[in-house]
């Protein structure tokens, strides 16, 4: 409890330094969301291949 008077503190970063769980990215892609800006091209191709019906 460093500063109880502060309700929310956000630190923002650029996409290159942002961590997003792989399970969240897979779920977004499975539901039709666009995750191309969050994955390297080779990983995106593998994910698209895995998610094909």
**What's residue 45's pLDDT?**
93
Q: Is 51 in contact with 29 (CB distance < 8 Å)?
A: yes
Q: Which residue ranges make up each domain of the chain?
A: 1-53
Task: Round to the nearest angstrom and report the end-to-end CA distance of the chain.
Answer: 49
**What's residue 1's pLDDT?**
66
Q: Which residue has the tokens 């994955």?
A: 39
Q: Which three-class secondary structure state does DSSP give residue 49?
A: helix
47: CB partners within 8 A, 6+ apart? 25, 26, 29, 35, 39
Does residue 32 come out as left (phi exceeding 0), alpha (psi in the -120 to 50 range) or beta? left
Task: pLDDT tens for the chain, 53 residues: list them.
Answer: 677 888 887 878 887 777 888 898 999 999 999 999 888 999 999 999 999 88
């Amino acid at each position: 409890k460093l500063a109880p008077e502060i309700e929310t503190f956000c630190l923002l970063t650029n996409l290159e330094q942002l961590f997003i769980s792989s399970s969240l990215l897979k779920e977004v892609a499975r539901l039709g969301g666009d995750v191309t800006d969050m994955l390297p091209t080779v990983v995106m191709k593998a994910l698209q291949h895995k998610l094909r019906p």
